[in-house]
Structure formats: structure tokens, C-alpha cells
Amino acid sequence: MILDKRKIKILSAIIEDYIATAEPIGSRTIAKKYHIGISPATIRNEMADLEELGYISQPHTSAGRVPSNKGYRFYVDFLMPKQKLSPEEQILIGKLFKRRIGELEELVEEAAGVISKLTSYTTIILGPQLDTCGIKYIQISQLEEGKGLLIIVTDCGTISHNIIEIPSSLTESDLTKITNLLNDKLIGKTFSDISNEMIDTIKSEIIEYDEVLNILLDVLMQSLDDTCEQSKIVYSGSSKMLEYPEFKDVEKVKNFLTLLEQQVLLSKALKTTSKPDGITVTIGTENPLEEFQDYSLVTASFALGGKNLGICGIIGPTRMEYSKVVTVLKKFTDYLNRLSE
């Protein structure tokens, strides 16, 4: 059954009012506040229909109506009005990009702050999946006897440093040679490209060097593996959630904060709900991960020059200002995309 115009108007009113006030909304209020030109009694009839169809529900008999997840979904898909950001808000986002293009990490951290500020929800940003990043620059330098520094810069803008053990018999020039060789062989490759065979090839090419190089290469491989696994999660505005009346209960707050502390889970949630480009909205029980079914999650994958740089997620109550959140995220990714032109 398709909703007729009047039902849509009523549903829309219920959802927007509930998003704004967090209070169940009754027929009288709708009639008064949203001048649809029909009486509360008629609205009641329509609401009964909407409830039967699963778009809204009643917390208890004598309360007003509250949107269901299905209702929010309909709203997000069809009803949600486009919003405009205020000039100040635009500037705030713009500022993120108006500085020397440095490291991705800095941008991500600042971005999380700004987005959380603009939306008033908690923002989680998952850094790039390193295994899909190409290696742009690789270097080993000697720090001190037996200790070296391995630097890897990727085309995703990440820089990683690892301290590695270096057999002390190696000379500076050995290291330079290895560095050059690694650059030759590995630049342009992604982390996941780097297989054991590839390392074996490198090993065979430096057969002239002695056994210690093997050791070094093994250490390197290990280090690459380690690096690959750390895809950083940054979050900002964890206390934002407490502003909302649905979190007046400490138990709920605890659940939420505990959730935020589980990086693996967050990362999984962002990965499973996002899609490679564009913005997704996952409402309550739509989320396959049980832990998130009390929340809504809006994600945006952001990319630069086709490279996936990470995922930005905004988490809030299902009664979320979807319109606002989507607008902010869209603006943000737009800026990023424009950057790559």
C-alpha cells in the first residue's frame, strides 16, 4: 500500500516533531502545529492506519505516536528535506581544507572535531585500510647500533614509522642499497600485493649479501604486517550523546561509552554499513551488528583520486537529525572530491 499525500504529511509531521522534541506527538498537536486543515479525529484515523502499516507506534495507550525504524527509513528515503548549511558552517568545513596539504592523520583528526561540532553527534573516523594503499616511499635509516627506523609513506597520505632491529654488521651503505632496492621493487605496490614470493625475489637479487640481510628482510616483513593492521580510529564528541534525553539513564550512557571503546567493533560497523562511495544511513535494527541496534549510524566513505581514504561515521540516537547529518557529510565529501581534481 502506498501512502497517500495526507498520510505522508502526517507522518512527516510526526517524525520531524519527534526529532525536534523527543516527545511522542498526539493528534491535537499535529492539527494545531502543522495546519493540515483536518480535525484531530481524522488525524487519529490516519494515525491508526500508519500504525497498522508499521510506520509509527505508541509507547503506551494514552501516549502520542513515535516513529518506528520503518518510519525513519521512509523519511530518509523519500521525505527528508534538503538542508542548507549556514555560511559559518560552510566556513568551518572549508577551513579544514584551506591549509597546506599535510598528513592525512591531521586532517582526519580535525575533521572529526568539526563534524561532531556541526552535527552535535559523536563522530568516528576510520583511517584508510592500509592494505589497499600503495607504497609511495620507503626508507630504512640507522638510528643507533642495532636499531633502525623504517619509514613508509603511502599514497593515501599516511606515514608510518617503526623501529626495527638491524643486524649490527650492516653498514650505512648496505642500508642505502637495501633502501634503494626496496624502493625499486615495492613502490606502487600495495601492502596486500607484497607477498612472500616478492620478498623471496628480492632476497634472491641480493644473494651477494650475506645472511644478515635475510634477517633484516624478515623483520621488515613483520613490520609491514604490523603497520598494515593498524588502521586508526579517531572519535570526537563522545559526550555529545549525553545531551539527548534518551540517554538520561546512566546505564545507556555506559553502554554507549563501552561501545566507543571497542575499536574493533566500531571499525567493523563502519565497514559493513558503508558503501564505497556516497552516504549510507543505517537505522537502529537495520544494523546487522546487535550492539548498534539502539543507534543510527550515518557513514560516508571519503576518497581522493579514486583511493579510499577512510570512512566517516556519525552515531546518534535513531531519533537523529538525518537531514542535517547527511548535509554536513555531503559537504565534507564534496570538498574532498573537489580537492582531487
Partner DNA sequence: TATTAGCACTCTTAACTATTGAGTGCTAAA
Partner DNA sequence: TTTAGCACTCAATAGTTAAGAGTGCTAATA
Give the whole-angstrom CA distance, residue 161 versus residue 138: 10
Query: Does the footprint of its own copies cover residue 162 (CB under 8 A)?
Result: yes
Three-state secondary structure call for residue 303: strand
Would you say 104 and 56 are in contact if contact means Cβ atoms under 8 Å apart? no
State in angstroms the smallest separation of the CB of 230 from its own copies. Answer: 10
Radius of gyration of the chain (CA): 26
Query: Does the footprint of its own copies cover residue 254 (CB under 8 A)?
Result: yes
- The pattern of x and - marking residues 40 through 79 that bind DNA according to CB under 7 A reads xxx-xx-xx--x------xxxxxxxx--------------
Q: CB-based contacts of 310: which residues, under 8 Å, 6+ apart?
A: 104, 108, 125, 126, 127, 128, 129, 231, 301, 302
Would you say 136 and 155 are in contact if contact means Cβ atoms under 8 Å apart? yes
Give the whole-angstrom CA distance, residue 305 versus residue 338: 10
Give the whole-angstrom CA distance, residue 144 versus residue 42: 82
Q: From the list its own copies, DNA, none, which binds 48 (C-beta under 5 to 8 Å, kind-based)?
A: DNA
Query: Does the footprint of its own copies cover residue 99 (CB under 8 A)?
Result: no
Query: Does the footprint of DNA cover residue 248 (CB under 7 A)?
Result: no
Query: Does the footprint of its own copies cover residue 247 (CB under 8 A)?
Result: yes
Query: Does the footprint of its own copies cover residue 232 (CB under 8 A)?
Result: no
State in angstroms the smallest separation of the CB of 323 from DNA. Answer: 24
Q: From the list its own copies, DNA, none, which binds 58 (C-beta under 5 to 8 Å, kind-based)?
A: DNA
State in angstroms the smallest separation of the CB of 332 from its own copies. Answer: 21
The CA-CA-CA angle for residues 337, 338, 341, to 5°, reads 95
Q: From the list DNA, its own copies, none, which binds 134 (C-beta under 5 to 8 Å, kind-based)?
A: none
Cell numbers of 185, please?
A: 621493487
Please state the three-class secondary structure of 139-208 as a single string. EEEEEECCEEEEEEEECCCCEEEEEEECCCCCCHHHHHHHHHHHHHHHCCCEHHHCCHHHHHHHHHHCCC
Query: Does the footprint of its own copies cover residue 39 (CB under 8 A)?
Result: no
Q: From the list DNA, its own copies, none, which binds 249 (C-beta under 5 to 8 Å, kind-based)?
A: its own copies
Work out which of 9, 10, 18, 24 binds DNA, going by CB under 7 A: 24
Residues that bind its own copies (CB under 8 A): 100-103, 136-137, 139, 141, 143-144, 149, 151, 153, 159, 161-163, 165, 237-239, 242-243, 247-250, 253-254, 257-258, 260-261
Residues that bind DNA (CB under 7 A): 24-29, 37-42, 44-45, 47-48, 51, 58-65
